[in-house]
A and B are shown apart, each in its own frame.
Chain A
Amino acid sequence: MAEDSLLSDELLRHLMAVGQVDVLVGVPTLNNASTIGGVVRAVQQAFATYFPRDRAVLINSDGGSTDGTPGLVKDYSLDEAGTVTVSHSLRTMHRISSPYHGLPGKGNALRQILAAADLTQARAVAVLDADVASVTPDWIAALIRPVRDQQFDYVAPVYTRHPLDGPLVTHLVRPLIRAAYGWQVREPLAAEFGCSSRFVTHCLEQDVWESDLARYGIDLWVTGAALAGGFRCCQAPLGARVTASAVDRPGFQDVFQQVVGSAFLVLEPHAPYWLPRMGSEPLPIVGPPFPSEVCEAPKVDGSRLTQTFCRDLENLQSVLGDILSPETLSRLKATAETDCTQLRFADDLWARTVYEFLAAFHRGVMRRDHVTQALIPLYLGRTGSFLIQFAAADPADVEAALEALGLEFERSKPALVEGWNQAIPR
């Protein structure tokens, strides 16, 4: 679709006034008044500090905020220290805030940002999450520089975090993406990324923007599109990621269904790319490492999660029987019959479980949201088991265990390919 049909007249007018740019930073927003100031400040300072000779623009694509977020972006004035920094900039730095049209969700906001980048022929683009309170000018530099200076097409962030943190990423999405696409991406779900104009054009040409995937899983789709599209990809360390307080955030179940549903959906259009691939390669890490910060391990009682798993597995057996193979189901039952407070959910069993769920999701053995819902208790069992096992372990040992899990996903991939290609009953 042509950019001008994606952009409102007002935004088009602003962009034409700005003209061609070198660096574009996009920030999708929806009621982010508490954090947007810090993000705009970081962007402005990054423009002045790291890209003083570049033509730069900040585009805010707003989904209809009712807390005055767009006004804060437009009217944001730098404090004294900021003004000093900005005075070193050799070019005018533009700031545009515009509502996006169409379906609500991040997908349309991102589409508008990418369309604006395409129209202004931006050489390097960075997209930030307005909900993050820890954005610094270094983040923008880390995402833009590999594209501008080293001709990378896609830059994924690497956050500093405790390896026990974010188990949905570390135990499910990360090893799944690694084994499927054959690339080791630390944060495949990251909302921040940097990209080239070539990748922007590729994304805009894809038939994803009107789908549920664009609404709920666009971050993961972007990662998948970069890996499957044969683009030059790298990772950039950003440091710790601190988000604003989670008052209006969806609960665990909604998050789980959106993330897992998106991860399973993303793999479908890219199947010709990933089905024949075996093994994996690390994505290069570009840029200075951030000073190591002490990240606290999550304080959750793993045995409560495993007890939930043991109880729910019994309740869900009739549903799981339609999704899992008899061998996997009997191994899960055997696992649940042990002492639930000391449960051990083996890596190979977890990899097989995820793969069989993915194959069932693909073959449509039942409604897809039922498939993802049925995975929740098993995920809690796996997470709880890992927390019990590594609660007091050294972070390096935890990292080693996560690496072993990634390798297990790779080793088990033939089972996924077999399940994926299994004929739908005629």
Chain B
Amino acid sequence: MAQMIAEAVSQAGRNFVESLASFLPRVATTISIIAVGWLIAILLRTIVRFVLGWLRLNAAAERLGVAPLLRNAELPPADAMVAAIVFWLVWIGFLLSGIDVLGFTALQGLLSGFAAFVPRLLVALVILVIGFVAANFAWRATLLAAVNAHVPSPRVLSGAVRWLILILAGAMALEQVAVARTVVLTAFAIAFGAIMLAVAIAFGLGGRNIAKRILEHQFPEREPSGADEMSHL
């Protein structure tokens, strides 16, 4: 009996040692992949930042109005942002590759899922950047044109244009990464419809007088500046 127990314990011990012997190299491989991946990610981050600096991405970001938005959000400059995105994408890729080597059934498939997610994420980021640039450009163009044309409440008008484009870009980006796709689409449709409905109701039925008073306050009559009444040259 004792011999049988000793045999079982010994067998368990041998099995454990064999498992450990086969698992430890995989752990070492995982650690190596993660470490090498980290080094490669750092190298790529440095290279990307150098190349973007050479291409004057920050100056372009200033011109396009992205840089002030990043500053306001207390985010790093545009070149550092792109370099950081590259770093994390590469390192997460290596991290998942390393985990895959361990052979945990529960974690298998993460890498293929991440590989499928990255292109969508990149497209979403591009949509967001284009949205930011377009929103900022449209905001400034609307504001300047409205101010110089003496349109009432130019800030309200230009702000509305900017937020409309930003919301549209945000919804498109979320739809691209498939984060709660149905919820996003539904929320966007409801919000957009609600705004339009509220405007229609305000103008049409309930609270016509209140809407009138608010609009009169918000959009006061503006006299022409008189700039066109003289020769400037």
Contacts and interface: CB of A to CB of B under 8 A. Distances in A.
Query: Do A and B make up one complex?
Result: yes
Interface of A: 165-169, 189, 251-253, 255-256, 259, 298, 300-301, 304-305, 307-308, 311-312, 315-316, 318-319, 322, 364-367, 370, 373-374, 376-377, 380, 383, 424-426
Contacts of B77: 425
Contact of B232 (A255, A366, A370): A255
Contact of B225 (A305, A315, A319, A367): A305
B58 A425 contact: yes
A247 to B, nearest CB: 14
A424 B231 contact: no
A424 B59 contact: yes
B231 A305 contact: no
Contacts of B232: 166-169, 252, 255-256, 383
Contacts of A255: 232-233
Nearest to B150: A308
A289 to B, nearest CB: 23
B53 A426 contact: yes
9 contacts: A166-B231, A167-B232, A259-B233, A305-B225, A308-B225, A316-B144, A364-B59, A367-B63, A383-B232
Nearest to B60: A364
Interface in B174-233: 222-223, 225-233
B226 A298 contact: no
Given A319-B144, A370-B140, A377-B148, A169 B233 contact: yes
B81 interface: no
B107 interface: no
A374 B154 CA distance: 13
Q: Ordered nearest first, which 6 A-B pairs have the shortest CB separation?
A: A308-B225, A168-B232, A304-B226, A373-B144, A300-B230, A424-B59
Nearest to A365: B62
A315 B149 CA distance: 13
Given A374-B144, A424-B59, A315 B154 contact: yes
Contacts of A167: 230, 232
Contact of A251 (B65, B228, B230): B228
Q: Give the residue among B68, B143, B150, B227 with the most A Cβ atoms within 10 A.
A: B227
A308 B3 CA distance: 103
Contacts of B59: 364, 424-426
Nearest to A187: B233
A305 B227 CA distance: 7
B58 A377 contact: no
Q: Give the residue among A166, A252, A304, A374 with the most B Cβ atoms within 10 A.
A: A252
Contact of B148 (A165, A300, A307, A373): A373
Given A305-B226, A308-B225, A365-B62, A165 B231 contact: yes
B67 interface: yes
Interface in B89-144: 137, 140-141, 143-144
Nearest to A371: B144
B53 to A, nearest CB: 5
Interface string B40-82: 0000000000000100101100110101100000000100000
A311 B225 CA distance: 11
B96 to A, nearest CB: 34
B67 to A, nearest CB: 7
A167 B145 CA distance: 22
B147 interface: yes
A376 B144 CA distance: 9
Contacts of A252: 227-228, 232
Nearest to B159: A318
A366 B155 contact: no
A189 B233 contact: yes
Contacts of B65: 366
Given A315-B154, A319-B143, A367-B63, A301 B226 contact: yes
Given A253-B148, A370-B144, A166 B227 contact: no
B163 to A, nearest CB: 14
Given A319-B140, A426-B56, 6 more contacts: A300-B226, A308-B150, A308-B227, A315-B143, A316-B147, A373-B148
Contacts of A311: 222
B233 A315 contact: no
Contacts of A383: 232
Contacts of A322: 68
B222 to A, nearest CB: 8
B227 A315 contact: no
B62 to A, nearest CB: 6
Given A316-B144, A319-B144, A366-B140, A304 B223 contact: yes
A72 to B, nearest CB: 26
Contacts of B145: 373
A4 B98 CA distance: 72
A253 B140 CA distance: 17
A97 to B, nearest CB: 27
A353 to B, nearest CB: 16
Contact of A380 (B68, B154, B227, B233): B227
A301 to B, nearest CB: 6
B143 A168 contact: no
A423 to B, nearest CB: 10
Contacts of A253: 148
Contacts of A373: 144-145, 148
B155 to A, nearest CB: 5
A365 B58 CA distance: 11
A367 to B, nearest CB: 7
Given A166-B231, A166-B232, A253-B148, A304 B225 contact: yes
B58 A426 contact: yes
B148 to A, nearest CB: 5
Nearest to A373: B144
B62 A425 contact: yes
Nearest to B53: A426
